[in-house]
Structure 1
Amino acid sequence: MTTETVSIGIDFGTSNTVVAASVGGAPAKVATFRHQGRHPSNSSAFISALCFWEDVSSAGRRTRCEGGPWAVEEFLEGLSAHRFIQSFKTFAASASFQDTRIFGAKYRFEDLLASFLTNVFGHAGVDPAHTKLVVGRPVRFAGGNPDENLAMRRYRAAFAKVGLEQAQYAYEPVGAAFFYAQRLAHEATVLVADFGGGTSDFSVIRFETQGGVRRARPLGHAGVGVAGDAFDYRIIDKVVSPRLGKGQNYKSFDKLLSLPTHYYANFARWNQLAMMKANGDLKELRQLARSAVDPEPLERFIEIIEQDLGFALYRAVSAAKIALSSSDETVLRFSEAGVNIAARITRAEFEGWIAPDIEKIGGALDEALRRSDVTAKGVERVFLTGGSSFIPAIRKVFVDRFGEQKLTSSDQFESIASGLALIGAQPDVARWVSA
């Protein structure tokens, strides 16, 4: 009796994570996470978040951890001291991030990722042992000066901690390309554009038929650490932060000084916001509020940090961004714990704010074509995946280069993980994995 090989693909994303499995090379099936708590959900997208809290009993204190929607519920309930961490993938390639303290214990990036993987596989009901595991990785990691070798060492250490030393790694857009290839009825050169939370990645792949078997040949890759989170940052920086004191003044020894901007740079990024309670920023903000010319905006800022309102605020920002993909204008609305923000945003304003990011994305796209030695005319199909691919300004980048008729889109969450699982089922997996 033979046992069919199970291949698992995992798309660990900045915002969401997806797991898919292929049995014996059959079409991949995506795991569904059924959360039946006070905030029920049923989705293939497992939020890339962790919540740590302490259980206190007669046996002493014990740190517990949950991930995904279970982490969000624990965080929102707030029945005990907790630490909520989201978008921690952005730390992967950062040499400046060594560790963070959680209830007195030191957690490195690989410790956070290992805790997260334990939760993902547990809630998916998947035992990755004795399977072929292919993990997605960005073409270029997020960050101002990302260290790719450091990021991959951390990835491997994290998977080793959960017993998966033999995991293999493939570029995320290559996974999406494998998924898309199932639709192709003829030979074609395909550009795959994957827009995640932290990175935008591009791969050019040639699909051919040899001896009646479809083959795929990677031609070139490129990426940039700019994506959905960067667009959220622009909204926060332009709309939210000014309502929380950015650009205002405080008094120091009879001098009028501008409020330091680094607090707002941290606030505008999820991965930094989670640290502001512990790194001294909150204490400094309280001191500044006492000498601010107008303390009320700073007090709102402090309230957001103290009351852990960042998650709800970021959901409101993301909702406004999504609305601008289909409407010419929207209103960002946020009202929690006495903090009220309502601001009208037009699509034209938003596109002006993200113009530098769009330019970087266009540059990475052109670099992928150069590395592939392929012109825009030589690309027969363009496959777009990821939530940001629906932003009109991004779509225009591709329409201008390739024409509307070449563009196609797919499920924004499932294509990469499904393609990675299919790669794991191939007899020549080594051709597709990265170093």
Structure 2
Amino acid sequence: MTGGSIGLDFGTTNSVVALGQGGGSDLLDFAAPRGAAPVFRSALCFWHDDDADGGLASDAGPWAIAEYLEYPADSRFIQSFKTVAASQSFDQATIFGKRFRFEDLGRVFLDRMVGHAGGRLDTRPPRIVVGRPVEYAGSRPDEALARQRYAAMFEGFGVDIHYVYEPLGAAYSFAARLDEPATVLVADFGGGTSDFSVVRIGARGDAPRCVPLGHAGVGIAGDRLDYRLLDRLVLPMLGKGGEYRSFDKLLEIPRSWFSDFADWSRLALMRNPRTLAELERLRRAAVDGDAIARMIAVIEGELGYPLYEAVAQTKRALSTAEVAPFRFDGGGLTIEADVSRASFEDWIAEDVAQMERAVDRALAASRIDAAGIDRVFLTGGTSLVPRIRRIFTDRFGADRIESGGELTSIAHGLALIGQEEDVAAWSA
């Protein structure tokens, strides 16, 4: 490729790349153990290898998952690391004694992704358009810090990097479906953030065809919904809500242990000598030491990925069934429970309310009320959750709701934006 563009949707859970050329864009398929696919899991795996540089080997995406599944006890599996991009409290992760900053993890991820692209990313076009959330994940996200880390992550690419709000990429992709002008609310639900943009899409041939009107976001999305399931089904069996003895007092076990355990970006990093020693002291002091022992076993057994998959499978099942099973067995922890959709919706009620308030902010920023929205385009895997979809069917009516390309629409649109003469008009 000597011209064109690359659109990169670097997501919390999945990443997707599209190649733009001649006014169109094509998704890039990555090699994978189970066959080529355009969705590349945003995950890393590290393991000892004497032949590797520094004695530490790594891989990303589905290859990281395959390596972990073959050698779980001898590897470190990390996922959802994008969620710490804007976190001032995250400085570095120590993996097998080697320290990694966010940008270091990002460079490893990008390098491995390029390596699995079959040579199609070896020669890069003049522009790479990278999606970014409207609101970064975290309780107090530092946008300037996230931009600094992103810049360091991509500095080796040697081409112009432009950052565009992720829902705008989806809007540009959705515009290809439309023949008539429309005012569109785009709702993008990822793993770490939920982002909303109101965009005016003109008729075919208009220049510019898409005009952003207003944006809003919230650092709550699929991972938070997973946490609600984990909090109700798993954490009580690991000691949450329990007590420990301190001299002659009984104190509640600090909740920070459980917030770290339930954060997919931090769980693997708990497997270090210092943390495990502290947990062992807590086990001896706990009223229910067996519960803390189960937590230690899950951490030492590197069981975060199968636990994540068990939670995610239940959440997906609840999108089509009124009742779904939750099953997990590992590290001395066995849980079998049936979860109703009604219960799940009760557990996520506050999260949904925060998403609804973000929709209100996007409409207010665009100075358009619900009646002024012609179409609502839902994208991202979490948009398939029935309670999330009802945010929009209740407010706008089912006839205005459209969806599709839940995991690929953003990358497709970013590659199209990258071919515009003035990409800066879209940049965030």
- TM bin (shorter chain): over 0.9
Residue 283 of structure 2 corresponds to residue 286 of structure 1: no
Correspondent of 2:384 among 381, 390, 394: 390
Pair 165,184 (structure 1): closer, same or farther in 2 beyond 3 Å? same
The within-5 A match list for 1:96-245 is 96-125=89-118, 126-127=121-122, 129-160=124-155, 162-209=156-203, 215-245=209-239
Distance of 1:103 and 1:113 partners within structure 2: 18
* 8 Å CA contact 1:50, 1:86 repeated in 2: yes
Correspondent of 2:79 among 86, 89, 102: 86
More divergent stretch after superposition (230-239 vs 94-103) = 94-103
Distance of 1:147 and 1:128 partners within structure 2: 33
Task: Give the TM-score taking structure 2 as reference length.
Answer: 0.95
State the 1:264 CA deviation.
0.8
Q: What is the one-letter code of the residue matched to 2:346?
A: G
Distance of 1:427 and 1:169 partners within structure 2: 15
Aligned to 1:35: 32
SS at the partner of 2:412? helix
More divergent stretch after superposition (369-378 vs 294-303) = 294-303
State the 1:41 CA deviation.
4.6
The within-5 A match list for 1:424-435 is 424-434=418-428
Distance of 1:222 and 1:372 partners within structure 2: 10
Distance of 2:184 and 2:74 partners within structure 1: 50
Q: What is the one-letter code of the residue matched to 2:259?
A: A
Distance of 1:219 and 1:234 partners within structure 2: 33
More divergent stretch after superposition (208-217 vs 164-173) = 208-217
State the 1:318 CA deviation.
0.5
Aligned to 2:22: 24
State the 1:159 CA deviation.
0.3
Q: What is the one-letter code of the residue matched to 1:94?
A: S
Q: Deviations over 1:51-86 (max 9, x none)?
A: 1222125x9952222111111122222277432221
Distance of 2:398 and 2:31 partners within structure 1: 37
Q: Deviations over 1:200-244 (max 9, x none)?
A: 000111011386667111111110000000000111111110112
* 8 Å CA contact 1:385, 1:412 repeated in 2: yes
Pair 71,384 (structure 1): closer, same or farther in 2 beyond 3 Å? same
Distance of 1:211 and 1:55 partners within structure 2: 56
Aligned to 1:303: 297
Distance of 1:19 and 1:230 partners within structure 2: 25
SS at the partner of 1:274? helix
Distance of 1:224 and 1:313 partners within structure 2: 26
Aligned to 2:309: 315
Aligned to 1:13: 11
State the 1:359 CA deviation.
0.6
Aligned to 1:268: 262
Residue 397 of structure 2 corresponds to residue 403 of structure 1: yes
Q: Deviations over 1:392-424 (max 9, x none)?
A: 111111112111100001121110000000111
More divergent stretch after superposition (72-81 vs 308-317) = 72-81
Distance of 1:346 and 1:284 partners within structure 2: 36
Cα RMSD (Å): 1.9
SS at the partner of 2:137? coil
Aligned to 1:62: 55
SS at the partner of 1:356? helix
Q: What is the one-letter code of the residue matched to 1:102?
A: I
Equivalent pairs, count? 426
Distance of 1:214 and 1:231 partners within structure 2: 37
State the 1:288 CA deviation.
2.1
Q: Deviations over 1:303-352 (max 9, x none)?
A: 10000011100100001111111111111101235431112211111111
Task: Give the TM-score taking structure 1 as reference length.
Answer: 0.93
Residue 422 of structure 2 corresponds to residue 416 of structure 1: no
State the 1:284 CA deviation.
1.7
Distance of 1:188 and 1:254 partners within structure 2: 68
* 8 Å CA contact 2:294, 2:331 repeated in 1: no
Distance of 2:241 and 2:61 partners within structure 1: 36
Q: Deviations over 1:151-193 (max 9, x none)?
A: 0111011100x32452111000000001100000100001100
Distance of 2:9 and 2:318 partners within structure 1: 27
Distance of 2:199 and 2:132 partners within structure 1: 17
* 8 Å CA contact 1:4, 1:24 repeated in 2: no
Residue 38 of structure 2 corresponds to residue 44 of structure 1: yes
More divergent stretch after superposition (79-88 vs 181-190) = 79-88
Gaps of 5+ in 2: none
Gaps of 5+ in 1: none
Aligned to 1:339: 333
More divergent stretch after superposition (209-218 vs 225-234) = 209-218
Distance of 2:104 and 2:206 partners within structure 1: 46
State the 1:248 CA deviation.
2.1
Distance of 2:334 and 2:405 partners within structure 1: 34
